[in-house]
Chain A
Amino acid sequence: MSTSYTAGEIWLVVLAAGLGTFALRLSFVLLFGRVDEVPDRVVGLLRFVPAAVLAALVAPAFLALSADPASAPVAVSRLGLGLDFETPKLVAGAVAALVAWRTENVLATIGVGMVALWVVQALG
């Protein structure tokens, strides 16, 4: 579908979205650069951000909630919900999780995970 935006409107979107996004990125980098010391309570909270955000990034790549338990592979019918997933990705993810846990090595995790995905896809 082709837009009927004028060139000026397109540039407005680019600049406004870009400046706004930059402000979001810069926000705390500037703020924490100005305070003498980041309060301990804040540091104590921020300590949890990597674990929480990475888990929230990873989990939905493998599992999804489904409102249709009849068609989902795993059904929790009492709640009217199902757990939906693609078997090759879930299997590859489980294998990769094992490698990640044992080695904490990013390259090994990706290598084993991708090969596992291709193998399961080829078998399926």
Chain B
Amino acid sequence: MRKAEPRESTGEEPVSDGRDDFLAGARAVAPILLGIAPFGLVAGAAGVNAGLSVVQTVAMSVVVFAGASQLAAIDLVSRDAPVVVAVATALVINLRLVMYSASIAPHFRRFSAGAKWLAAYVLTDHAYALSVTEYGETTPETRSRWWYYFGAAATLWVVWQVTTVLGALLGARVPDGLSLEFAVPLTFMALLFHALDDRATAVAAVVGALVGVVAAPLPFNFGLVAGALVGVVAGAALELRRGTFPTVEGGSAVEDRPETDGGAAEHTNGGESR
């Protein structure tokens, strides 16, 4: 992979190296895998228990690649719900991915078309949260947007597929007492503190948390979507009142603009798509 020309770099910072960036992403996602692996085993075992074949169960993990929606669809299939209901439920649970897509898309603008499609396919809560955090604290010159994201997302993808296969073949034997799934909210908590840049983002977080808790009983992950949307509105409302909206520079969701991007496409296979 080609290096971005370090126009903005002072020369003191290390220029990004694809392999290093991939490994950094993979390392960042490693602790999360503790929580993902039991979930994958459960998804694999649930599919087979519901009457899906091993191949169908694994195919669902490959094709859908979104744990909560897979478990919901498997549950509905096992209860002979109409096909439309099983599919619609899975999609509604995954509506939150649209928020992630919108939030991370400005960082993906300079990817080649193929890289965009591949990046979208492996987009998960975890890859999104890790990458957006890293993007907020690095420049495209020192940390390749593509390789960091792909290191985190692809590693998670591999572990999800392997654990689904194991769960489908062997059943889920997860050591219950260790509460390994607790690693996932802990990770998001650590990332949350990175995301608090100023008073407005803190307000967005507090409101998002409150609405998230209150709306948690709603089906289909609507509580998460509601919390996120109301939190975003609250943060923007505060800035509107102070006359600082939109804050474009210095925030963690700021687009990697061409002028700060060194003018080089990061994922150069085929160059920039139009």
Q: Which residues of A contact B (CB under 8 A)?
A: 1-5, 7, 9-22, 24-34, 38, 40-41, 43-65, 89, 92-93, 96-97, 99-101, 104-110, 113-114, 117-118, 121
A4 to chain B, nearest CB (A): 5
Q: Nearest 9 CB-CB pairs, A to B?
A: A44-B246, A52-B231, A56-B227, A18-B63, A56-B212, A61-B185, A52-B208, A59-B209, A2-B51
Beyond the given pairs A11-B56, A48-B236, A54-B208, 4 more chain A to chain B contacts, judged by CB atoms under 8 angstroms and listed by A's residue number, are A12-B87, A13-B83, A50-B195, A51-B201
Is B78 a contact partner of A59 (Cβ separation < 8 A)?
A: no
Q: Which residue of A lies closest to B201 (CB)?
A: A51
**19 A-B Cβ contacts within 8 A?**
A3-B51, A7-B53, A12-B83, A13-B90, A19-B63, A21-B64, A29-B108, A33-B113, A44-B236, A48-B232, A50-B132, A51-B196, A51-B252, A56-B224, A58-B209, A96-B189, A100-B189, A109-B187, A113-B189
- Tell me the number of A-to-B contacts counted with CB atoms below 8 Å: 326
CA–CA, A46 and B142, complex, Å: 23
Name which of B90, B109, B190 has the most chain A CB atoms within 10 A of its CB. Answer: B190
Q: Count of B residues near A, CB < 8 Å? A: 113
- Which of B3-11, B14-22, B36-44, B213-221 makes up part of the contact surface? B213-221
Quote the shortest CB–CB distance from B67 to chain A (angstroms): 11
Over the window 31-71 of chain B, the binary record of Cβ atoms lying under 8 Å from chain A Cβ atoms (1 yes, 0 no) is 10010000000000000011111001001100111100100
Q: Specify which chain A residues have a CB less than 8 angstroms from the CB of B252 in the assembled complex.
A: 47, 50-51
Roughly how many angstroms separate A28 CA and B125 CA in the complex, as a whole number? 16
Known: A21-B90, A100-B193. A107 touches B235 (CB 8 A): no
Q: Which residues from A are CB-within-8-Å of B111?
A: 33
Which residue in chain B gives the minimum CB-CB distance to A103?
A: B190
Contact B211 A56 (CB under 8 A): yes
Partner of B183, one of A20, A104, A110: A110
Judge if B192 is at the interface, Cβ distance under 8 Å. Answer: yes
Q: Measured between alpha carbons, how far is A100 from B25 in the docked complex, in Å? A: 19
Residues of B within 8 A of A109 (CB): 186-187, 189-190
Which partner residue on chain A sits nearest B113 by CB separation?
A: A33
Determine if B192 and A58 form an interchain contact, defined as CB atoms under 8 angstroms apart.
Answer: yes
Pairwise interchain contact B185-A93, C-beta atoms closer than 8 A: yes
Q: Are B101 and A25 within 8 A (Cβ)?
A: yes
- Residues of chain B within 8 A (CB-CB) of A51 are 192, 195-197, 201-202, 204-205, 208, 231, 235, 252
- Bound Cα distance from A31 to B188, whole angstroms: 27
Cross-chain contact A14 with B103 (CB below 8 angstroms): no
B89 to A, closest residue via Cβ: A17
Task: Find the A residue at minimum CB distance from B236.
Answer: A45
Distance from B193 Cβ to chain A, minimum over Cβ atoms (Å): 5
A65 in contact with B255 (CB, 8 Å): no
CA separation between A72 and B187, bound complex, in Å? 27
Closest residue of A by beta carbon distance from B62: A18
Cα–Cα distance between A28 and B119 once the two chains are bound (Å): 12
The residues of A that contact B195 with a CB separation of less than 8 Å are: 50-51, 54
Whether A5 lies near B223 (C-beta < 8 A) is: no
Determine if A55 and B231 form an interchain contact, defined as CB atoms under 8 angstroms apart: yes
Known contacts A24-B101, A110-B186; is-contact A10 B52 (Cβ 8 Å): yes
Nearest CB of A to B185, in Å: 4
Q: Scan B219-261; emit 1 where CB is below 8 A from any A CB, else 0.
A: 0000110111111101110010000011110011111000000
